[in-house]
């Protein structure tokens, strides 16, 4: 079952971390009942899901969601209709992303002591990269002459090109000259790769996450900041700077324009930027306080 499951996820373009997440939840079900999940009936699954909801009442309910996602895919592989097993549908959260201001981004970029971390954050924000995409950047993907970055095999196994800022190019050249990376731009501690007998020397996912969290803390940013926050901020700032939604979709590597359109609800763009009525109220009734120059 394990190999079949992994192959199916690979065909669907899902990452290995997604595979491990699904398998972990399915393994817990198997240990709970001491049999594989496909041998369970609807009542047993309902009891287990109710137990999961009671034990993992988190704001995002991610544990419950991944349990459902893992079961759905397993049943699909085995030719069992999820609806016949009474699996509930999962509604997508309608939360708007956290976005940093340009002033906060500037503080974040200047916070790390290590040049490596400053360049890493610069790539995440300046190119709108996902965490695994930043780890996968190779020296050969950097085209300094054309000022482009080749994002190789991003989400959904899709390639895309994104512009490289001249400021980032200068930083990358300085970093490469100092660190002398051979293949991956960001190297980490060599870890044994379970798929084969070789070694994966890329910077780890936890390393990237730690670098961003530490920078946000040092910069004094009180908003909840993670790696994906920089991608959200990249998209929002591009919209506010005049990039159209179709172009943004391509830069982000989104499959559907619907996914990209969430940033229209966050970006302060358009002919007149949104403002608070308090601004016009104070401007009208206390112009001296609001604008001492009188202009």
For residue 188, what are its two tokens?
């980490």
Examine the residue annotation and report whether 231 is marked as an active-site residue of this protein.
Answer: yes
CA torsion, points 168, 169, 170, 172, in degrees to nearest 10? 80
Marked catalytic residue, from 228, 232, 234, 285: 228
Catalytic residue among 231, 232, 237, 249: 231
Question: Which one from 107, 138, 155, 218 is the annotated catalytic residue?
Answer: 155
Q: Is 138 a catalytic residue?
A: no
Q: Is 130 a catalytic residue?
A: yes
> Is 152 designated active site?
no
Q: Exposure pattern of 233-262 as b/e (b: 16+ CB <10 Å)?
A: bbbbbbbbeeeeeeebbebbbbeeeeebeb
Dihedral sign, CA of 196, 201, 206, 209? negative
| CA gap 149, 171 in Å, rounded | 14
CA distance 81 to 220: 50
Catalytic pick among 14, 116, 130, 249: 130
> Is residue 117 annotated as a catalytic residue, yes or no?
no
In whole angstroms, give the CA distance from residue 161 to residue 142: 10
228 is catalytic: yes
- Local structure of residue 13 (DSSP, 8 states): T
Phi and psi torsions of 3, nearest 5°: -65, -40
Positions marked active-site: 130, 155, 228, 231, 254, 263
């Amino acid at each position: 079952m394990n190999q079949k499951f992994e192959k199916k996820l690979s065909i669907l373009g899902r990452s290995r971390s997604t595979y491990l997440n699904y398998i972990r939840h399915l393994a817990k079900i198997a240990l709970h009942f001491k049999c594989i999940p496909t041998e369970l009936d609807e009542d047993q699954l309902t009891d287990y899901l109710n137990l999961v909801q009671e034990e993992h009442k988190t704001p995002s309910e991610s544990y419950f969601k991944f349990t459902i996602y893992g079961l759905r895919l397993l049943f699909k592989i085995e030719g069992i209709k999820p609806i016949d097993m009474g699996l509930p549908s999962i509604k997508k959260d309608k939360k708007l992303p956290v976005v940093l201001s340009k002033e906060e981004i500037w503080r974040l970029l200047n916070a790390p002591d290590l040049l490596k971390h400053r360049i890493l954050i610069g790539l995440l924000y300046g190119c709108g990269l996902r965490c695994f995409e930043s780890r996968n950047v190779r020296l050969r993907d950097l085209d300094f002459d054309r000022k482009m970055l080749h994002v190789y095999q991003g989400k959904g196994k899709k390639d895309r090109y994104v512009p490289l800022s001249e400021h980032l190019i200068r930083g990358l050249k300085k970093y490469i000259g100092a660190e002398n990376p051979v293949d991956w731009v960001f190297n980490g501690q060599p870890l044994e790769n379970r798929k084969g007998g070789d070694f994966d020397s890329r910077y780890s996912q936890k390393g990237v996450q730690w670098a961003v969290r530490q920078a946000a803390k040092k910069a004094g940013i009180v908003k909840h900041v993670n790696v994906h926050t920089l991608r959200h901020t990249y998209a929002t700032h591009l919209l506010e700077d005049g990039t159209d939604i179709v172009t943004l979709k391509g830069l982000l590597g989104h499959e559907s324009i619907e996914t990209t359109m969430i940033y229209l609800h966050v970006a302060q763009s358009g002919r007149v930027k949104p403002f608070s009525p308090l601004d016009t109220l104070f401007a009208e009734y206390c112009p001296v306080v609001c604008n001492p120059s009188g202009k």
